[in-house]
Structure 1
């Protein structure tokens, strides 16, 4: 399967650029892995919402995807204590 097209929200970009370099590298690796295995990745849906979450250390990536069009929508990122609020 080819790498999914990644579409970043403004909120995601603004928080991502403020993260420490080590965390940014971890997040980028997780997103690459998710994007390259979008069809068979073990997605974890957020309760009562249409979005999914992905763990990256103490941070969580909130995303949606369109499997048919192979698009990954990166909505938000934040520390696990704050991202769900």
Structure 2
């Protein structure tokens, strides 16, 4: 589960994955049978990470689908933040 924090400038201030990084991440997840999930900070309107990762198979963990973050904490095997 990836839970990035919000930053001033939103989309422009967040890390921009390049194509080779996205390919590597997709291949790694497939090799290990892993599925990622992305939940942007509630104040982040750019949704930079969701737009990059959800098309590759990551699950949309937004509050629209999962209003209670605590349930996601309990279900996730790992948490990555910045």
TM range (shorter): under 0.3
Between Structure 1 and Structure 2, the one with more helix by share is 2
- Alignment TM-score, normalising by the size of structure 1: 0.24
Structure with the larger RCO, 1 or 2 (CA within 8 Å, 6+ apart):
2
Between Structure 1 and Structure 2, the one with more strand by share is 1
- Alignment TM-score, normalising by the size of structure 2: 0.24
Q: Which has more radius of gyration?
A: 2
